[in-house]
Chains A and B, each alone.
Chain A
Amino acid sequence: MSEPRNKIITEDQAVATLRSGMTLGIGGWGSRRKPMSLVRSLLRSDITDLTVVSYGGPDVGLLCAAGKVKKLIYAFVSLDSIPLEPHFRLARQNATIPEPTEWDEGMLQWALFAGSLRLPFLPTRAGLGSGVMDVNPSLKTVNSPYADGEELLAVPAIRLDAAFVHMNRSDARGNAQYLGPDVYFDDLFLAACEPGRRFVSAEKIIPTEDLLKEGTFHTLKINRSMVDGVIHAPNGAHFTTCEPDYGRDESFQKAYVDAARDPEAWKAFSDRFLSGDEANYQSQVVAWREEVKAAKEAAK
């Protein structure tokens, strides 16, 4: 009897399949359930000239700061509790993203949905009349072929070369589960991606028979036919939210923002947290928390 595919890999093995110039979709939303351990691995690689599609948070900020983004397709980049993402702001203000592509939030969904359905475009009203049309002159409209004849924006499909999403649980074959309040558009990112580089990191890898122990079947939006690689990544979304396993690490997020204000501080932050592997990152976060706690005690 043939064996099923073995999909358990590491972040670095996933990233090793990527090439410069590819189109990468990153799941999550703002500073919520972002596949940060995969992003951190990507930061350590030589890969560059990426087209990145994201409901942007620190994933986008970090990739911009590292100069890995050629084209960014986004509607916003935000840290939610801290509205503005410092690295993204700098990148835009210094015009270091060669091809910023700013769309409406709904247009991103439509582009990924069209990509997942292998349609060339999907029509919408979102974007019409707005500055999105001014700064994206390649966007085209279509007229309804029916009696109404309405002119609609034809959102071009996005097909991804690679997709990263982070889930609460997955089995070893990629049947993945979100236990928080929102799947965001993670299923669409995977569905819009060419098979081969669809990666799911998860807090816990569990046996298939345990998938319904913590959530109902409604939480199983991602099945194994949508996934090529499964990465065990405890605390992998840190410092973003991963409800209900953990909330956002607000104090660490603030430290990230503070460090981004100053090149020297950023270098120190980056050297400490981002130059080593994921295990180093996680142990440095633990050590950092201890230091902050000790400093607070000392200040009392």
Chain B
Amino acid sequence: MSDSVALADVIAVACAEAWRGDGEIFASGMGVMQMLGARVARATFEPDLMISDGEAFYVSGDLPIGGTQKLVEGWIPFRSVFDTLAGGRRHVMMGASQIDRYGNSNIANIGPWAKPKSQLLGVRGGPGNTVNNATSFFIPKHQTSVFVPNVDMVSGVGYDRAKKVGGFIAKRHDLRRVVTNLAVLDFNSPDNSMRLVSVHPGVSVDDVVANTGFELVIPASVPVSRPPTPEESAAIETIDPKGLRHREIPT
């Protein structure tokens, strides 16, 4: 792979890959890299995805991040988002301040819930998202304070908890992938604990292990995350002409 490929572009494509095969559902990205990934997926290999402007409209075409020239193709106010996710016709990529080996995630607070050391957003729609529609994560800084043995508040439901609930939720629960600044991970292991899928160029498996606070499932051979195709590179430039993606990656 050429040295000229920026890490942010490899990550954008790794995020886009989360939606491969999803077809005509709502690809929802919470954050710059997540939105970029969804829009690159639609611009290239997953053309039927539905993309929103992050406010209340489905938009057609390749809307740049923060773009205002919208080609509206539908209306998706918050109430319709709730309806759509409950119907399962959505795959959201969120952020997480903490995540554990089964994908329990936390955007709510750090420290004990009753008196947090740091109050963050609250659980938001995380509980409903994770038991209703496919969920992926982009985590810009892969480190042991984020990849923790136990999250302080479960705002997003992981595999162990989903199995404990049982029934519909256990059957349909679908955490797809976790993209970080170091690697791509998923939950395709016998007990659905987190598995290393690929490492980004220049990153070693040991780097990932050292920055993860729990034991990962590591296949015998771990490939390097792929670079964008020329078509994907062009889409990345069109959708993020200002290069906002580079600011998402810690240096």
**Which residues on B sit within 8 Å (CB–CB) of A89?**
118-119
Measured CB to CB, the nearest residue on chain B to A103 is B123
CA distance A150 to B171 in the complex (A): 12
CA distance A128 to B165 in the complex (A): 7
Query: Would you give the shortest CB distance from B109 to chain A, in whole angstroms?
Result: 7
CA distance A151 to B113 in the complex (A): 26
Instruction: Please determine whether A150 and B113 come into contact, CB atoms closer than 8 angstroms.
Output: no
Given contacts A76-B121, A125-B131, contact A131 B155 (CB under 8 A): yes
Which of A166-174, A180-188, A225-233, A283-291 binds B?
A: A180-188
**Which residues on B sit within 8 Å (CB–CB) of A255?**
none
**Which residues on B sit within 8 Å (CB–CB) of A41?**
none
Q: Which of B137-168 contact A (CB under 8 A)?
A: 153-157, 161-162, 164-168
**Which residues on A sit within 8 Å (CB–CB) of B165?**
128-129, 151
Q: Does A132 contact B (CB under 8 A)?
A: yes
CA distance A127 to B129 in the complex (A): 9
Q: Which of A104-122 contact B (CB under 8 A)?
A: 104-107, 109
Query: Would you give the shortest CB distance from A253 to chain B, in whole angstroms?
Result: 17
Interface core residue of A56, A131, A134, A148 (most chain B CB under 10 Å): A131
CB 8 Å contact bits of B112-146 with A (1 = contact, 0 = none):
01111111111111111011100000000000000
Which of A7-15, A77-85, A204-212, A260-268 binds B?
A: A77-85
Query: Would you give the shortest CB distance from A177 to chain B, in whole angstroms?
Result: 15
Instruction: Please determine whether A181 and B57 come into contact, CB atoms closer than 8 angstroms.
Output: yes
CA distance A130 to B105 in the complex (A): 10
Q: Which of A140-190 contact B (CB under 8 A)?
A: 148, 150-151, 181-185
**Which residues on A sit within 8 Å (CB–CB) of B153?**
131, 135
Instruction: Please determine whether B122 and A74 come into contact, CB atoms closer than 8 angstroms.
Output: yes
Contact size range, A: 35 or more
Q: Does B206 contact A (CB under 8 A)?
A: no
Q: Does A126 contact B (CB under 8 A)?
A: yes
**Which residues on A sit within 8 Å (CB–CB) of B154?**
129-131, 134
**Which residues on A sit within 8 Å (CB–CB) of B167?**
148, 150-151
CA distance A76 to B153 in the complex (A): 13
Q: Does A29 contact B (CB under 8 A)?
A: yes
Query: Would you give the shortest CB distance from B193 to chain A, in whole angstroms?
Result: 17
CA distance A135 to B106 in the complex (A): 14
26 contacts between A and B (CB under 8 A): A56-B122, A76-B122, A77-B122, A84-B119, A84-B121, A93-B117, A93-B119, A95-B114, A104-B127, A104-B128, A106-B85, A124-B86, A126-B86, A126-B128, A126-B132, A127-B127, A129-B131, A129-B154, A129-B169, A130-B127, A130-B131, A131-B123, A131-B127, A148-B168, A150-B167, A181-B77
Chain B residues at the A interface, C-beta cutoff of 8 Å: 55-57, 75, 77-79, 82, 85-86, 106, 108-109, 113-128, 130-132, 153-157, 161-162, 164-169
Q: Which 9 residue pairs across A and B have the least CB separation, nearest first?
A: A126-B128, A181-B56, A130-B127, A131-B154, A76-B122, A92-B119, A182-B77, A104-B127, A129-B157
Since A125-B86, A126-B132 are in contact, a sample of 10 more A-B pairs with Cβ atoms closer than 8 Å, ordered by chain A residue number, is: A76-B121, A76-B123, A104-B126, A125-B132, A129-B157, A130-B155, A131-B153, A134-B113, A151-B165, A181-B56
